[in-house]
Homo-oligomer: A and B are copies of this chain.
């Protein structure tokens, strides 16, 4: 019985390995509430969203290859422009942090009512932008800091930001791609580690650390445990089958069961068979 983050859709080898063993793999990131929210991804998404601005500010410092600007600007000097793609949990937390740092912030999403909520709570301190190719091209072009914050549950992130868009950015700009665990939002994204978090591609600093929340393990652990504990207790007390039969949210977390892929999105990612078990 595995109960942790798995991100199988981006990890073919891990998936293959798990299929050879007799393990029930319940992935934190696909446990899903009836309304579609992901309760065990949410705490890490919060942390990643907040952290993305901190990491991005660091990338923009001169010694890290950035253009040497402060997110807030100064009296008489304009702030940096931060563009956030995705207004889900990661995006809205990045938005809170970027607005708090007094950057000039745009947030792009495909859901108008989510954008209206952002306007309700942030008032005029953030620009909301409908997601389409033309808008994304224009925003990326003007961004000093681009935050990738798109998550499609259990599936690979689409490559919304092309290599050409990245090339269009001003030298010394920065990209923080929080979607890297699912493959990343940019064509120029490849995973990095906390030991060597950034690389430069097309003169743009990229921060694409897989497992970003590992930078702040104390905050992350508290945040995660707050949410996982009750599920873990259910699994331990009732056994997996009963727990999942009773709690459909937990059921949707099942990725691999009895040597078969149990989640459609994972099966489709690799063109493999899958079978959703019934309890």
Contacts and interface: CB of A to CB of B under 8 A. Distances in A.
A76 interface: yes
A168 interface: no
Interface in A113-143: 113, 115-116, 118-121, 123-125, 127-130
Contacts of A69: 216, 218-219
Nearest to A67: B218
Interface in A174-224: 194-195, 214-220, 222-223
Interface size range of chain A in the complex? 35 or more
Contacts of A39: 112-113
Number of this chain's copies in the assembly equals: 6
A51 interface: yes
Nearest to A222: B77
A203 to B, nearest CB: 15
A102 B100 contact: yes
Contact of A54 (B58, B120, B195, B215): B58
A77 B130 contact: yes
B68 A195 contact: no
Contact of A121 (B70, B120, B223): B120
A104 to B, nearest CB: 7
A226 interface: yes
A96 B118 CA distance: 13
Given A63-B195, A120-B92, A217-B62, A97 B72 contact: yes
A75 B54 contact: no
A46 interface: yes
A74 B113 contact: no
B74 A50 contact: yes
Nearest to A193: B63
Nearest to A54: B57
Q: 3 closest Cβ contacts across the A-B interface?
A: A102-B124, A100-B100, A76-B130
Interface of A: 37, 39, 42-43, 46-47, 50-51, 54, 57-58, 60-63, 67-79, 89, 92, 96-97, 99-104, 106, 109, 112-113, 115-116, 118-121, 123-125, 127-130, 194-195, 214-220, 222-223, 226-227
Given A74-B220, A75-B128, 4 more contacts: A43-B75, A46-B74, A74-B222, A101-B101
